[in-house]
Amino acid sequence: FSHAGRLYTVRRNPRYRRPKKKGGMTTESADAALTRPDGTVCSGAGAVTAEITGLLGIDCKQFRQTAMIAQGEFLKLLLADSAERSEIFRRVFDTGVYRRIQDALKAREQELKAALEENARAVFQDAAAASPDGTALTEAALEQFAEEQNVSAAGPLAERLAQSCAADEKKAGDVSARRGAARAQAAALTGRIAAAQQQNRLFADLEQANRRCAELEARAPQMERERQREAAAERAESLVA
């Protein structure tokens, strides 16, 4: 064959079976030889195939496909409509694999689109319940998302949800601060209650002491009379003695 103005000669021996000298059959491996324009020779089926593929830039399958176009498919390709042209390309160039890849990519696109829309709906549900400024979503916003059901419509809702989260965090901080102040007040009140209880115990002790003093003061005249009788008895006893 001639390529780029240079002549190459190829000789191939396909794999075949032959009789052995001592009987039976044996298999001869495929062989090939490529004689280059400079007279050098490349031997071996694999080496020859690799060198020819490198020279032509196409392999055997692609060469056959190109030959099919040259054998009449090219005219059909020129006259065919889009659908028939696609079918010719599919048959000649075996583009079915690319069609399957395209279909798989489209299916994956639909899956991702459905997942994104599901995420958008989840964002919408959370954002619909959020009211960072104290107001609920307007009916117009609800209708817009219900009609579009896509990520672009969920963008403002996601921003609203983020604002609501920030507002909730601020409220949580305020509640925490108030809780801390309440705990401090409770601790101070507990201290005052303990002090008041101690003071009440002191008042009770004082009241009991006052009652004891009053009892003793009430008995003072009687005790004085008893003391005087004891003194008189002691004097009388001394006179008798």
3-state SS record for 49-63: HHHHHHHHCCCHHHH
- 160-194: pLDDT as tens digits: 667 777 777 777 788 888 888 888 888 888 888 88
Q: Does residue 207 sit within a domain?
A: no
In the structure encoding, which two tokens stand for residue 141, read together?
């916003």
Residues 167 and 111 in one domain: yes
Q: Which residue has the higher pLDDT, 228 or 33?
A: 33
- Tokens of residue 202, six digits: 């002191």
The reported pLDDT for the residue numbered 129 is: 65
Digit-coded pLDDT (tens) for 15-40: 888 888 888 888 888 899 999 999 99
Q: What angle do CA 162, 168, 170 make, to 5 degrees?
A: 105
Angle subtended at Cα 188 by Cα 183 and Cα 193, rounded to the nearest 5 degrees: 120
The 10s digit of each residue's pLDDT in 143-156 is: 555 555 555 555 66
- Count of the separate structural domains present in the chain: 3
Residue ending a domain, among 172, 204, 219, is 172
Q: CA-CA distance, 70 to 58, in Å (whole number)?
A: 16
Predicted confidence at residue 34, as pLDDT, reads 93
Residue 220 domain-assigned (yes or no): no
Q: Residue 98: is its pLDDT beyond 80?
A: no
Read off the amino acid at residue 241.
Answer: A
> Quick one: 4 and 38 in the same domain?
yes
Residue-level pLDDT at 188: 85
43 forms bridges with which residues in the sheet? Answer: 33
Name, in order, each residue with C-beta under 8 angstroms of 69's C-beta and a sequence gap of 6 or more.
77, 92
- Final residue belonging to a domain, choices 142, 172, 202: 172
Does residue 168 sit in the same domain as residue 111? Answer: yes
- Whole-model pTM: value is 0.33
In a domain, 83, yes or no: yes
| 17 and 34, same domain (yes or no) | yes
Assess whether pLDDT exceeds 60 at residue 135: no
Domain carrying residue 67: 59-94
Structure tokens at 1: 């064959």
Model confidence at 42: pLDDT above 90: yes
Together in a domain, 19 and 38: yes
Q: Read out DSSP for the chain?
A: -EETTEE-EEEEE--EEEE-TTSSEEEEPPEEEEE-TTS-EEESHHHHHHHHHHHHSS-HHHHHHHHHIIIIIHHHHHH--HHHHHHHHHHHH-THHHHHHHHHHHHHHHHHHHHHHHHHHHHHHHHHH--TTS-PPPHHHHHHHHHH-SHHHHHHHHHHHHHHHHHHHHHHHHHHHHHHHHHHHHHHHHHHHHHHHHHHHHHHHHHHHHHHHHHHHHHHHHHHHHHHHHHHHHHHHHHH-
Is 140 a residue whose pLDDT tops 60? no
50 and 77 belong to one structural domain: no
Q: What pLDDT, on the 0 to 100 scale, is given for residue 53?
A: 87
Structural domain contains residue 160: yes
Is there a domain that residue 89 lies in? yes
Same domain, 64 and 53: no
Q: Is residue 232 part of a domain?
A: no
Q: Round the average pLDDT of the chain to a whole number and report it.
A: 77
Q: So what's the pLDDT on residue 43?
A: 92
Check residue 141 and give its pLDDT.
58
Q: Do 52 and 64 share a domain, yes or no?
A: no
Contacts of 20 (CB under 8 A, 6+ apart): 26
168 in the same domain as 113: yes
Let me know whether 111 and 89 are in one domain.
no
Arithmetic mean of pLDDT, 107-124? 80
Provide the pLDDT for residue 179: 85
Q: Do 112 and 168 lie in a common domain?
A: yes
Could you tell me the pLDDT band of residue 133, with boundaries at 50, 70 and 90?
low
**Residue 180 vs residue 92, higher pLDDT:** 180
Residue 152 lies in a domain: yes
Residue 229 lies in a domain: no
